[in-house]
């Protein structure tokens, strides 16, 4: 025969036990579910920098119907350009002249008498480039602007726009990656904090494309990455994608 007092205790404790078990099961289920959740964040970083290396090129040309005469003309121009660069403060080791290129120019036209097409010889055009790679950025910029003054000395010269590079770009990229990664982690921590969660283990990371553009512009931006060489002052950007578990 059951004890009424025992039955009463059981009737009181049983519902409590069921409630506690349900809470424990629910908490365990939610914990497991939350831990399997993933938060995806994108971090970014950028920095402005000035290039410390300049590459500049100009070309001289000469034309004549006699090959040797054309060669003599371009040699005279070469000597004038070389003297100009030395007077500007460069040594002979700081600039180089490339091999001379030759083009035989002709013209095809219809002969007035026979009506047939004939080829006429116009002459030889010789071309030679002078190239400079230097850390004297200010000086080479000035030379690139002023060297066309040699046109007054009958030098047929064409100056190209300088190109700019940074010799410490590898270190700069590493610093940007570190800052972008830190930025992404802070975003993930903010998301976890505002959802009453905790940041778990890092699941994966993916480095984005570097964009190196002229400062204060997005001209030249490309989804495949960009590297501007026409501007002395640039801005480098990079993104990092991180995935964290949430618990």
pLDDT tens digits in sequence order for the chain, 247 residues long = 555 555 554 455 445 544 454 444 444 434 444 546 889 999 999 999 999 999 999 999 999 999 999 999 999 999 999 999 999 999 999 999 999 999 999 888 787 777 787 888 889 999 999 999 999 999 999 999 999 999 999 999 999 999 999 999 999 999 999 999 999 999 999 999 998 888 999 999 999 989 999 998 877 666 677 889 999 999 999 999 999 998 8
Give the count of beta carbons closer than 10 Å to the beta carbon of residue 244. 24
What is the per-residue pLDDT for 107?
A: 87
User: If 0-12 CB within 10 Å is exposed, 13-18 middle and 19+ buried, where does residue 135 land?
Assistant: exposed
What are phi and psi for residue 70, nearest 5 degrees? -65, -40
Cα 115 from Cα 112, distance rounded (Å) = 6
What is the per-residue pLDDT for 15?
A: 54
0.85 exceeded by the pTM? no
Cα 26 from Cα 151, distance rounded (Å) = 87
In terms of DSSP bridges, do strands 53-64 and 211-214 run parallel, antiparallel, or are they unpaired? Answer: unpaired
3-state secondary structure 61-85: EEEECCHHHHHHHHHHHHHHHHHHH
What is the per-residue pLDDT for 172?
A: 95
62 in Cβ contact with 124 (< 8 Å): no
Q: Which residue carries 């350009």 as its tokens?
A: 81
Strand partners, 124: 64, 104
What is the per-residue pLDDT for 115?
A: 72
């Amino acid at each position: 025969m059951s004890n009424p007092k025992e039955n009463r205790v059981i009737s009181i404790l049983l519902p409590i036990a069921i409630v506690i078990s349900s809470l424990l099961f629910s908490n365990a289920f939610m914990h497991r579910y939350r831990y399997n959740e993933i938060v995806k964040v994108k971090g970014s970083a950028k920095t402005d920098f000035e290039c410390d290396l300049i590459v500049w090129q100009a070309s001289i040309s000469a034309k004549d119907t006699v090959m040797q005469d054309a060669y003599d003309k371009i040699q005279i121009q070469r000597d004038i350009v070389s003297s100009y660069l030395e007077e500007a403060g460069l040594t002979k080791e700081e600039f180089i002249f490339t091999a001379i290129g030759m083009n035989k120019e002709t013209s095809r036209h219809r002969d007035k008498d026979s009506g047939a097409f004939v080829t006429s010889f116009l002459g030889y055009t010789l071309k030679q480039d002078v190239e400079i790679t230097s850390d004297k950025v200010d000086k080479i910029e000035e030379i690139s602007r002023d060297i066309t003054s040699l046109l007054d000395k009958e030098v047929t010269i064409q100056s190209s726009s300088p190109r700019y590079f940074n010799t410490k770009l590898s270190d700069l990229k590493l610093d940007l990656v570190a800052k972008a990664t830190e930025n992404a982690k802070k975003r993930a921590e903010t998301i976890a904090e505002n959802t009453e969660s905790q940041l778990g283990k890092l699941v994966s990371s993916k480095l984005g494309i570097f964009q190196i553009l002229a400062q204060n512009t997005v001209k030249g931006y490309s989804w495949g990455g960009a590297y501007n060489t026409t501007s002395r002052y640039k801005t480098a950007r990079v993104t990092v994608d991180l995935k964290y578990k949430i618990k």
